[in-house]
Structure 1
Amino acid sequence: MPILDRFSKTFRLSNELSKEMLAEFYGTFILVSFAVAASAQYVFTDLSSYLTVNFANGMGLVLAIYAAGGVSGASLNPAASIALCLHGFIPWYKYPFYTIAEIAGAFAASAVQYGINYDMLNAYDGGNRTTYGPTATAAVFSTFPNPEVSNLNCFFDQVFGTFVLVICIFAILDKRNSMPIDKGLIPLSMGGIVFAIGTCWAGNCGYAINPARDLGPRLFTAVAGWGLEPFSFRNYGWFWIPIVGPMVGATIGYFVYQLCIEIHWAPEPESTDVVVSANGTKEKPVELTGVDNIAFISSKGRISDILRSDI
């Protein structure tokens, strides 16, 4: 018997939104742990290349979705969550709670990786925490632009990168288009998107394409010795770009996918299923990532059970 079974009644959360927030925190913690650790290896050692950084970011997303997808659907990205809310996959009232949990998970992951890489960090910068210069280390945690690239160029880079991310996400989740037959392949597909984006569009400003993944670590560096520099960089003209750019790109990506692909499918029969959320509001019964997301239970049971009964 697992040792925590005897304490399960004490530790088990009963509120569904609390469970989902914990899952988003946990999943984002895993995602950012891989991302920051890969950057640390790249900067502090000769054991890594930028290709391995991209691979680690992609695999970090894969493992994060496997870890948290069964509870919350593993959005792990406030920009992607906007598109999912627009489509009805996530109810809007959950959006701020998911975002807070994701930023907190990214902050915690940065703190842990700071501790793990503390000695290498000190050996590299001599204890002088800086955002720019030959021994700058803030970029290990959050993204910064190429010195040759303007803020305006970086903004459009973030818009386009997240646009690509979102249209690919919907292509995978759209069961009438290219959803993998085996739902367990969906996390691998999602990780493949991030890996591909990193190999194609990292040069301008590091492909944050996720406000939580960038803001959480940036907040950590601000309180861990770097001061205001991670925010005041380029006269406060940079830090908002990896936050606002992905939000704009995700919104555009959602509408482009709808206008180019999804609205052209033949209408499906209306479902008689009724889904009532924890706060009593009606929600759309959908498959988010092909897992038993507690927010999407129909009157016939869990989505995965219904799918298995049709086979």
Structure 2
Amino acid sequence: MRDYVQSVELGVSQQKGVNVTQPKVWLKNEFVRVGLAESLCTYVMMVFGLGSVAQVVTGEGAFGQYLSINLGFALGVAMGVHVGGKVSGAHMNAAVSFTMCTYGRLAWKMLPVYVFAQLLGSFLAAGTIYAVYYEAIHDYCGGNLTVTGVKATAGIFATYPAPYLSLLAGFFDQVCGTAMLLLCLMALSDQRNKPAAAGSEPLAVGLLVLLIGISLGSNSGYAINPTRDIAPRVFTAIAGWGADVFRSGNGWWWVPLVAPPIGGVLGAGIYKVFVEMHHQPVSGQGGQLVEELQEENTPLEKQKYISSGNVCV
């Protein structure tokens, strides 16, 4: 097949006195490589994030509080960036991918690959946490899987609004949270400003998610990510919670789908208008303009080959 290149078996071969070590097979198709990496990093992020929620809920406060959930998702994001950062950029968020396409940092033809990979990773992570905490969940709720009420457990997997929150206020909440996410991600990757130090990008992004959680998370669980929310929601509908996962909160389910992409484009645009567009030219030797700064593998850095189907970061 074109997507695969056969090579020698793993190990060291003797050829004319030269030791050659090569992998047995590797992927060349960029869509497949990116999709696999994005699925895996999303899976890692969601397993740690959903796992932290499951532990807090089923432990009834004995194994952590709200801060534990914030830390779980933050560190999960950091680990996800380590897993897929140099291959897919570890977006792990359809709002991030959509925003990068909007501003020309990712080819539009790559968007379906990212969205599908993120959905797959999130769905599998929900299934994993359900399996790991199956007995704890059923012991906690007595086998009655509910979306609302004192012993509700659907919130382990997807986000739901607080009882006081209207759909309009919730929509603004999600737009605002995602706008802050993308605004700060743009700053962290801006090589002409004050970017995250090389090698510290995963930690910086994780701290950003932690900051959003502890400041903007109480209204609706700060989904700020369409694929993070809808895939586990679909899983819970299949696993026993039923159609109530879509009816609860006055039909809340569509808000984390629609609001985050709007917020992402808005937040990134604000950073560009207020900061990025006004950077002074950088001069190199002889006074000539340096058109391209040294590329860094930061979470949102633009690569020169995006037009050929490769990814941004």
Partner of 1:308: none
Match of 1:38 among 52, 61, 66: 52
Match of 1:20 among 11, 31, 34: 34
Q: Deviations over 1:215-267 (max 9, x none)?
A: 111111111111111112234x2001111111110010111111000000124
Residue type at the aligned position of 2:192: R
Pick the structure with greater CA Rg.
2
Matches within 5 A, 1:103-142: 103-142=119-158
- 2-side partners of 1:172 and 1:110: how far apart? 30
The offset of 1:114, in angstroms, is: 0.4
Match of 1:258 among 272, 275, 292: 272
Once structures 1 and 2 are overlaid, which stretch shifts more, 165-174 or 82-91? Answer: 82-91
CA gap of 1:287–1:55, structure 2 versus 1, over 3 A, is same
Residue type at the aligned position of 1:36: L
Structure 1, unmatched stretches of 5+, are: 274-284, 299-311
Verify: 1:161 aligned to 2:177, yes or no: yes
Residue type at the aligned position of 1:208: A
Structure 2, unmatched stretches of 5+, are: 1-8, 12-21, 283-288, 307-313
The offset of 1:272, in angstroms, is: 8.5
- 1-side partners of 2:24 and 2:31: how far apart? 18
- 1-side partners of 2:232 and 2:292: how far apart? 44
Partner of 1:233: 248
Q: Number of aligned pairs?
A: 280
Verify: 1:82 aligned to 2:101, yes or no: no
Residue pair 1:89, 1:288 contacting (<8 A) in 2 also: no
CA gap of 1:95–1:286, structure 2 versus 1, over 3 A, is farther
CA gap of 1:249–1:229, structure 2 versus 1, over 3 A, is same
Q: Deviations over 1:122-146 (max 9, x none)?
A: 1011221111111111000010000
Q: What SS is found at the alignment partner of 2:199? A: helix
Partner of 1:65: 81
Match of 1:98 among 107, 114, 135: 114
Residue pair 2:42, 2:122 contacting (<8 A) in 1 also: yes
The offset of 1:287, in angstroms, is: 4.1
Match of 1:5 among 7, 10, 28: 10
Residue pair 1:163, 1:252 contacting (<8 A) in 2 also: yes
The offset of 1:291, in angstroms, is: 10
Partner of 1:48: 64
Higher helix share: 1
TM-score normalised by the chain length of structure 2: 0.84
C-alpha RMSD of the superposition = 2.4
- 2-side partners of 1:68 and 1:164: how far apart? 23
- 2-side partners of 1:222 and 1:211: how far apart? 17
The offset of 1:80, in angstroms, is: 1.1
TM-score normalised by the chain length of structure 1: 0.84
Q: How much identity, in percent, do the aligned residues show?
A: 37
Residue pair 2:90, 2:299 contacting (<8 A) in 1 also: no
Residue type at the aligned position of 1:25: S
Q: What SS is found at the alignment partner of 1:76? A: coil
